[in-house]
């Protein structure tokens, strides 16, 4: 029961230091600016602004464009096509958020799910009826045949038309899966009555570890770049690809934590008390495994923001009409005197990544004050 005991004498994690305050404040500001400003109409989308300002104007020149009817002030200068760097930065922040947050959420869901399976049940924890397994695998294959192969035309048409058709298709897919699931359940019950009661253990840990190894066999950026070759450049695709490559770290972390936690006495106590495995996992084990995941998520967000900037700098995957920090920085290649094209995006990028890391460590301290020693 030592974890519970630790929690009961939870001590205050101390005041926020000034770096932590700064980081938190910056992140808040970042969120507000990235989400709110584009909707107010005060800044124009850099690639939709039809009357650009002077080309490559250095920052902090506050005379509003002489001799032209363009009266805006370019606080941070303009790039090679006369677009405002500040507007570019704000819209770039939005792109960075749009890519990194959903990708990280997806990756966390996949990672925590698989990590739980591998860590909590391990290679011998999950016993299933052979009949059940066989029926379910067959029905899953049948389901995939109907959902993906037979309805491929409908899917393609749906994606061309838009969201309502996609929702309809997803509904049909879910309905098919659900009815097949019911069918499988009935079949399994039927066979069980006829004496098919042999059980086997599923080596989930093995499977998940091998999966992690397969995805990890190629360096991450390389994998993303390779997969980008197969799809059209769009933010959605980049999000899915990033999620596909980032789940491994979180899965490994959750697995390692659960391996330790499941040996603790309080899990044993819960088992003796007659709680089901799923309940123990969700109510007892998982909450104690999550704090390190928070840090991993924050670091992952930072590295996803960097990845997005890198991809847009290389001009792969991120569509041309999206503003991005990487693209502003690219402007230095045309004009090596334009230091403001590198300095401002770099500073925002680094501040964002640093703030994420600092805040994550702070949150970790808040949640588990006893952990802060290591």
Partner 1 sequence: MVRYVLKRLVWLIFTLWLICSLVFFLSKAVPGTCLDWQLGEFGQTINSTKITTGQSGNKPVIPLFYFSVHSRAVPDTLYRMQPEQHQQFFKNLILLSGNRAAVQAFYQTIINLQKSAAQLPNLTLSEKQQLRYQLELIFALADKTQLEQALLRIKNQVSTRSYPVSYREKVTLAQQQCQAIFKKKQILNVLMPAVTWYGFTNEYHIWFTNFIQGNLGTSCLNQDPVNEVIAEAFANTFVITVLSLGLIFILASELSIWLSNARRAKWKQTILSLLYALDSVPLFIVALILITLFASNSYFNIFPAFGSAPDSVPGVPAYLTWVYQLPYLALPVISLTLSGLPYVTGQTYQAIQQLLSREFVLVAKAKGLPEQLVLRRHVWRNALLTLITLFTGFLPVIITGAVIIENIFAIPGMGRLLYHTILARDFPVLIGIVLYLGLIKILAHVLADILYYLADPRIKVPA
Question: For residue 121, what are the CA distances in angstroms to 16, 257, 298, 360?
Answer: 39, 13, 27, 29
Residues 6+ apart with CB under 8 A from 196: 129, 130, 131
> 242 exposed, middle or buried (CB, 10 Å; 0-12, 13-18, 19+)?
buried
Of 246, 326, 328, 362, the one binding partner 1 (CB under 8 A) is: 326
Token pair in block for residue 123: 């290679």
Q: Which stretch binds partner 1 (CB under 8 A): 42-50, 199-207, 343-351, 365-373?
A: 343-351
287 near partner 1 (CB under 8 A):
no
Binding of partner 1 by 172 (CB under 8 A): no
At residue 262, what are phi and psi to the nearest 5 degrees?
-70, -15
Asked if residue 324 lies in contact with residue 308, where contact means CB atoms within 8 angstroms, the answer is yes
60 near partner 1, rule: CB under 8 A = no
Asked if 309 is part of the footprint of partner 1 (rule: CB under 8 A), the reply reads yes
Which value, to the nearest 10 degrees, does the dihedral of the CA atoms of residues 96, 99, 100, 103 take? Answer: 180
Whole-number minimum distance, CB 354 to partner 1, in Å? Answer: 5
Chain positions 148 to 167 lying near partner 1, rule: CB under 8 A, are 149-150, 152-153, 156-157
222 binds partner 1 per the rule CB under 8 A: yes
Strands of the chain (E only): list them.
Answer: 127-129, 199-201
Stretch 192-211: interaction string toward partner 1, x if CB under 8 A: ------------------x-
Residue 326's alpha-carbon distances to 223, 300, 316, 323, 330, in angstroms, are: 19, 18, 11, 9, 6
User: Interacting stretch for partner 1, rule CB under 8 A, among 45-53, 66-74, 246-254, 305-313?
Assistant: 305-313
Size of the site for partner 1 (CB under 8 A): 44
Tell me the C-alpha distance between 198 and 11, whole Å. Answer: 51
Closest approach, Cβ 275 to partner 1, in A, equals 34
Distance between CA atoms of residues 337 and 56, nearest Å: 9
The answer to whether residue 44 forms part of the interface with partner 1 (CB under 8 A) is: no
Q: Give the integer Cα–Cα distance in Å for 241 and 227.
A: 7
Query: Which range touches partner 1 (CB under 8 A), out of 35-43, 106-114, 115-123, 338-346?
Result: 338-346
Cβ proximity to partner 1, 60 vs 339, nearer residue: 339
Stretch that binds partner 1, among 35-43, 46-54, 82-90, 223-231 (CB under 8 A): 223-231
Q: Which residues, listed in sequence order, are joined to residue 201 by a DSSP beta bridge?
A: 127
- Taking the complex as a whole, the smallest distance from the CB of residue 233 to partner 1 amounts, in Å, to 11
Residue of 100, 248, 284, 310 interacting with partner 1 (CB under 8 A): 310
CB atoms near residue 279 (< 10 Å): 11
Is residue 339 close enough to count as binding partner 1 by CB under 8 A? yes
Candidates 100-108, 120-128, 255-263, 330-338: pick the segment binding partner 1 (CB under 8 A).
330-338
Alpha-carbon distance of 185 to 179, in angstroms, equals: 10
Q: Tell me if 289 sits within 8 A of 254, measured CB to CB.
A: yes
Interacting residues toward partner 1 by CB under 8 A: 145-146, 149-150, 152-153, 156-157, 210, 213-214, 217-222, 225-230, 302, 306, 309-310, 313-314, 316, 326, 329, 332-333, 336-337, 339, 342, 346, 349-350, 353-354, 357
């Amino acid at each position: 029961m030592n974890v519970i005991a630790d929690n009961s004498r939870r001590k205050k994690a101390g005041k926020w230091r000034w770096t932590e305050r700064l980081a938190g404040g910056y992140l808040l500001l970042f969120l507000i600016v990235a989400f709110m400003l584009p909707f107010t109409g005060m800044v124009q989308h850099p690639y939709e602004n039809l009357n650009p300002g002077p080309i490559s104007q250095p920052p902090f020149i506050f005379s509003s464009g002489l001799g032209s009817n363009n009266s805006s002030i370019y606080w941070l200068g303009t790039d090679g096509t006369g677009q405002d760097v500040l507007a570019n930065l704000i819209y770039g922040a939005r792109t960075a958020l749009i890519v990194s947050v959903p990708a990280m959420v997806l990756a966390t869901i996949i990672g925590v799910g698989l990590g739980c399976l591998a860590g909590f049940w391990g290679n011998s924890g999950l016993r299933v009826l052979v009949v059940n397994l066989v029926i379910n695998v067959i029905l899953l294959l049948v389901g995939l045949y109907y959902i993906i192969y037979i309805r491929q035309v409908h899917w393609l048409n749906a994606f061309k038309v838009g969201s309502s058709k996609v929702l309809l298709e997803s509904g049909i897919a879910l309905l098919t899966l659900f009815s097949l699931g019911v069918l499988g359940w009935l079949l399994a019950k039927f066979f069980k009555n006829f004496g098919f009661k042999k059980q086997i253990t599923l080596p989930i840990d093995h499977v998940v570890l091998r999966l992690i190894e397969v995805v990890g066999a190629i360096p991450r950026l390389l994998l993303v770049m390779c997969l980008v070759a197969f799809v059209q450049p769009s933010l959605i695709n980049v999000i899915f690809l990033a999620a596909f490559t980032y789940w491994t770290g979180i899965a490994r972390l959750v697995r390692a934590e659960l391996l330790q936690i499941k040996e603790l006495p309080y899990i044993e106590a819960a088992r003796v008390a007659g709680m089901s495995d799923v309940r123990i996992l969700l109510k007892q084990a998982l909450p104690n495994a999550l704090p390190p995941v928070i840090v991993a998520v924050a670091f992952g967000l930072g590295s996803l923001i960097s990845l997005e900037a890198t991809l847009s700098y290389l001009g792969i995957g991120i569509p041309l009409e999206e503003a991005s920090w990487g693209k502003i920085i690219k402007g230095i290649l045309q004009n090596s005197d334009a230091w403001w094209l590198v300095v401002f995006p770099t500073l925002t990028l680094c501040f964002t990544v640093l703030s994420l890391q600092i805040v994550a460590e702070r949150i970790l301290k808040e949640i588990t004050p006893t952990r802060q020693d290591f």
